[in-house]
Chain A
Amino acid sequence: MSSTLPLSAAELVEQFKSRKLKVKSVVSDIFGHIKASEPKLNSFTALTEELAYQAADKMDAAYDKGDALPSPLAGVPISIKDNINIRGQKTTCCSAMLKDFVAPFDATVTQKVLAAGMVPVGKTNLDEFAMGSSTETSIFGTSRNPWDLARVPGGSSGGAAASVAAHQAFLALGSDTGGSIRQPAAYCGIVGIKPTYGRVSRFGLVAFASSLDQIGPLTKTVKDAALLLETICGHDVQDSTSADMPVPQFSAALGQDIKGMKIAIPKELSGDAISAPIAESLENAITFYKSQGAIVEWVSIESLKYAVPTYYIIAPAEASANLARFDGVRYGNRDRSSATLQAMIADSRGKGFGDEVKRRIVIGTYVLSSGYYDAYYLKAQKVRQLIKKDFMNLFQTYSAILMPTTPHPAFKVGEKINDPWSMYLEDISTIPANMAGLPALSVPSGVTNGLPIGLQIIGKPFDEATVLNLGHHLETQFNFHHRIPTGIQDLLK
């Protein structure tokens, strides 16, 4: 197999420009590699070969003629999480409910990615309706971690992370509600960023928890993440929560001096709260940033302990309403044996949703129901404001917050599936950024027992530039991105 696949997206584009590589040949290589590696990885739910070759021909023509290219990522193969609409393709959300659902319109991000000349290679696997941390709740089965095929790639954007880590795609679009981009990025040794809430349009993303969901890039390098983020950001009238804020050129800020920059480390997510190798990796990062002239200080964010319970009230509450549209009337799974409307709806949903989704619908309905609203939902919304306030107070002093992305490296398939709360606790350090709507980046920061680990950098609202710059500095310490994961080394030399 071609040795071009482990390149970063930015490196690949240089090859396209010099015409040492044709888009079409890379696309053909990548489909060859995908087909060879899918039996091991199961990253994809569907491939979009026709769309890919169409885009490839168009971009080759543009590169041949030296035309103005639509973007700095023209011709780069990208995978798209299967909860983001591509018009005319299935959007399954990895649920029996939507297994045959064809999207009647493009998501705004899809439009932007296609207009930028990127090449969509396929839709990637996720936990059903993005509810999970492992892809184990997908009806298409679990995706595998390319570094250890017995382990999960993380989730819910597990297929997306695996596809980039295993060089089945140069870029991926995922979505992050409580860590669904950053946690799998950390588990798979790649870069993932959840932008500020409102940065990227949610139009065409199947909603899980509307006030928390954000679409973002999963990439091999921070530079690639910056380039992809520049492309998909921006105000969108189709999404009322989309922010009308200028979009800086994030890639231009990479490498800027961080001397004197103040970085906070929360005590609550260090020491005994996390595994030893991750604590060690955090210490290394602190030493590194100090060596670059940054001022790194330990702080306390007491409200962090409320983040997971708060999240598991608000997210299921919103989900219980967002998933109410799946009633078997207009599309989706319909139980045809039911004699009455009421039975048809309940049975279509009962059969169309998996266990984890049902559990969250039950929790969400419970916390909103009469007599429980104040004690759960209303209280959680207040605690959410508390968490937000605590972060904003820190940002009076600090430019960014550094913490582990996950408390542990990737776990084994089946290890946590029967213990929902322990699975939920894996999100402890990713959830706060969603609760406060802040931009958060995960970058590879080391390897332990052959498994990658990641560190997370959280920034001020709309200050993705600082977050990416800090990530870029750290990344140079590890230079992870050309590595071939151990699980697929036989396929890619």
Chain B
Amino acid sequence: MSISESDINRVIKLAHLSLSPETVSRFSEQVGSIMGHMAVLSDAPIADLSPTDPNSPSTPVQADKVYTGFGDCASVNPVYMDGPYFVVPKIAGSDAE
């Protein structure tokens, strides 16, 4: 099995990951070969199985009370801040939500 470079390019666009052309071509081969090993799963007897644990407990909930114990976390590792704001470069195209 192989995964085409265009597949890799589609995926790295989704993953917002810059890769060199050399890496794209290497990954296309490696990931393709890895995905080939997944074929064995098609034989697994899973017809009547659910993808989640039917016996899972409920997710816990917390009371609706303001907790401020973490202190100022925003500016501990500043990469690029202007006053209290994080700053990002110009947003290109129509990527807006």
Contacts and interface: CB of A to CB of B under 8 A. Distances in A.
Interface stretch (A35-43, A107-115, A288-296, A325-333): A325-333
Interface in A223-266: 237, 240, 244
Contacts of A329: 79, 86, 88
A365 B11 contact: yes
Contact of A362 (B11, B42, B51, B59): B11
A365 B15 contact: yes
Interface in A47-100: 100
B62 interface: yes
Nearest to B14: A365
A32 B42 CA distance: 55
Interface stretch (A119-127, A274-282, A377-385): A377-385
A361 interface: yes
Given A331-B79, A340-B89, A366-B11, A355 B23 contact: yes
Contact of B8 (A310, A341, A362, A384): A362
A213 interface: no
A306 interface: yes
B51 A378 contact: yes
Nearest to B20: A350
Chain B interface residue number, banded: 35 or more
A385 B49 contact: yes
A330 B19 contact: no
A328 B87 CA distance: 10
A17 B53 CA distance: 47
B41 A350 contact: no
B16 A349 contact: yes
A385 B45 CA distance: 11
B44 A341 contact: no
B79 A332 contact: yes
Contact of A346 (B16, B23, B73): B16
B90 A339 contact: yes
A100 B79 CA distance: 10
Most A CB within 10 A of own CB, among B23, B33, B86, B88: B88
B34 to A, nearest CB: 6
A330 B45 contact: no
Interface in B74-92: 74, 76-80, 86, 88-92
B18 A347 contact: yes
Contacts of B77: 100-102, 104, 330-332
Interface in B3-35: 3, 7-8, 10-12, 14-19, 23, 27, 30-31, 33-35
A305 B23 contact: no
B49 A363 contact: no
B80 to A, nearest CB: 6
Contacts of A338: 89
Interface string A342-382: 11111101110101001101110110010000001011111
Nearest to B51: A381
A312 interface: yes
The 6 A-B pairs with the shortest beta carbon distances in the complex, nearest first, are A350-B18, A381-B51, A331-B77, A340-B92, A382-B46, A346-B18
14 contacts: A104-B77, A244-B57, A305-B40, A309-B38, A334-B79, A339-B90, A341-B91, A346-B12, A363-B35, A365-B15, A366-B7, A381-B52, A385-B50, A420-B34
Interface of A: 100-102, 104-105, 237, 240, 244, 303, 305-306, 308-310, 312-313, 320, 324, 327-332, 334, 336, 338-347, 349-351, 353, 355, 358-359, 361-363, 365-366, 369, 376, 378-386, 388-389, 420-421, 424
